[in-house]
Amino acid sequence: MEQYKQEFIEFMIDCEVLKFGDFVTKSGRKTPFFVNTGFYRTGTQLRKLGEYYARAIYNKFGLDFDVLFGPAYKGIPLTVAATIAISEHYGKDIRYCSNRKEIKDHGDKGILLGSPIQDGDRVVIIEDVTTAGTSIQETLPIIKAQGNVVPAGLVVSVDRMERGQGEKSALQEIHDIYGLETTAIVTMAEVVERLYNRPYKGKVIIDDALKSAIDAYYEKYGV
């Protein structure tokens, strides 16, 4: 595993973003693990998060896009942090854009905040995590309504590696249905590889019992 991936897994643990227990995903699945980027709460944490996203984006898409789009609300700080990191580390001034939950009818009007999306723009979407691909169904119509634009890709922090609406993985379905290239900073397989029966700061985070629960989850929802 690449060093930055291992560091990112540990970073999620330190920030309490990656948690283990009993949770329910947006798609209604009961899961023994959960990723909540809302727990990145300081400037230092967001700066580091932006750097991890920037590396994943650069490794997959290079700099061949114009706008980084972060769906409201969690996508807003993600897109800001990542565009700053891309500027600092790769020297490309990518525009950022997010949507509002409600259309604003005064001042800076419309459904978007940040940069407008223009005809010909190549847009990469940034999200925290995709379980069943439901959020993309809401996001793409907003982007496509802005003009003749090209949704070029999707980047998430963690690939949960589970089925979407059918038998393929959520990220594979997104690729097949919408033509979006997808990538993640890390996969859940890499998370398990790093944490299973390997102490981190003196504690084993994924022990045999938790590993069994994760395996059972993938028996039901895995691909």
AA identity, residue 110: G
Give the model's pLDDT for residue 19.
96
**Of the candidates 216, 222, 180, 223, the residue with the CA atom closest to the CA atom of residue 32:** 216
Ranges under pLDDT 50 in the chain: none
Give the model's pLDDT for residue 13.
97
pTM above 0.85, yes or no: yes
Q: Which long-range contacts (CB under 8 A, 24 or more apart) does 38-45 make?
A: 38/74, 39/15, 40/15, 40/77, 41/15, 45/15
DSSP annotation of 116: P
Element (H, E) at 32: strand 30-35
Element (H, E) at 30: strand 30-35
Q: Compute, in degrees rounded to 10, the torsion defined by CA atoms 64, 163, 78, 59.
A: -30
Give the model's pLDDT for residue 35.
92
Report, as residue numbers or ranges, the catalytic residues: 104, 106
**Of the candidates 205, 196, 193, the residue with the CA atom closest to the CA atom of residue 2:** 193
Per-residue pLDDT tens for 44-74?
999 999 999 999 999 999 999 999 999 998 8
Give the model's pLDDT for residue 101.
75
Give the model's pLDDT for residue 169.
86
